[in-house]
């Protein structure tokens, strides 16, 4: 979700929003995206895989350990992307 509470429209916008939210949460904890060591990603549609990879590369150029699952739906039906991350700051 966007900070306003709105849900971005479309996969790429939702993925970018999720990475921006993740970046903000990590910064609040004194960490950054480069500190991510493990990610779990949920996609609703496998055809979004290439777009996900492009967005991920823009935010996280290193390759942390990761799990990607394609699921039937997420808790809110309008969501098409979810990410969870573990970061270990230096």
Give the pLDDT confidence of 48-86 residue by residue, as tens digits.
Answer: 999 999 999 999 999 999 999 999 999 999 999 999 999
**Does residue 83 lie in a domain region?**
yes
Is 52 a domain residue? yes
Q: How many domains does the chain have?
A: 1
pLDDT tens sequence across 16-46? 999 999 999 999 999 999 999 999 999 999 9
CATH of the domain at 32: 3.30.1330.40
Q: Domain for residue 19, yes or no?
A: yes
pLDDT given for residue 90 in this prediction: 81
In a domain, 36, yes or no: yes
Query: Is residue 65 domain-resident?
Result: yes
* Nearest alpha carbon to residue 83 among 18, 32, 25: 18
The pTM of the whole model exceeds 0.85: yes
Domain that holds residue 59: 11-87
Task: Give residue 5's pLDDT.
Answer: 87
């Amino acid at each position: 979700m966007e900070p306003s509470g709105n849900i971005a429209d479309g996969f790429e916008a939702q993925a970018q929003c999720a990475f921006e939210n993740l970046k903000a949460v990590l910064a609040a904890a004194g960490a950054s995206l480069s500190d991510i060591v493990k990610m779990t990603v949920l996609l609703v549609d496998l055809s979004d895989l290439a777009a996900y990879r492009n967005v991920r590369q823009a935010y996280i150029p290193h390759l942390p350990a990761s799990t990607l699952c394609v699921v039937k739906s997420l808790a809110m039906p309008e969501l098409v992307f979810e990410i969870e991350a573990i970061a270990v700051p230096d």
